[in-house]
Amino acid sequence: MDLFKRILIITGLVVVLFFCEAIFANFFEQLFHPNLLILLVIFVDLHLGIRYGILTAILAGLLKDSFSSNIFGLQITSYLICVYATTLCRRYLFYDMEF
């Protein structure tokens, strides 16, 4: 049940942040255009691990690709590259230091 709950929360966050990005893009136009979904992908990857990070990247990229006029799969690929880069940085650059 915990797996289903996490997937549901991740899906809800992806949808909410996608709509927030759309509102910011329409309301502020070129002045303020944050990429909230990539921040969510990085956060989920660091907090829950690579499996949930990949799930978040696929959901966010699929939603963003569905509503854009770019090549389909471009956002999914960029989010997946971000997940793998974040995982590599966490694995090889972040050391647990105990004080």
pLDDT of 95 above 80:
no
Residue 98 DSSP code: -
Is 47 within 8 Å of 96 (Cβ atoms)? no
Q: Is 83 exposed, middle or buried (0-12, 13-18, 19+ CB in 10 A)?
A: buried
Q: What pTM was estimated for this model as a whole? A: 0.87
The number of CA neighbours under 13 Å toward the Cβ of 43 is: 9
pLDDT digits (tens, 9 = 90+) for 70-87: 899 899 999 999 999 999
Q: What is the pLDDT of residue 31?
A: 79
What's the pLDDT band for 97 if we cut at 50, 70, 90? low
Check residue 29 and give left, alpha or beta (phi > 0: left; psi -120 to 50: alpha): left
Residue 57, pLDDT score: 96
What's residue 32's pLDDT?
Answer: 77
pLDDT tens digits, one per residue of 1-45: 688 999 999 999 999 999 999 888 888 877 778 899 999 999 999
Which of 5-13's residues contact partners 24+ apart within 8 Å by CB, and which partners? 6/48, 6/52, 7/55, 10/44, 10/52, 10/55, 10/56, 10/59, 11/59, 13/40
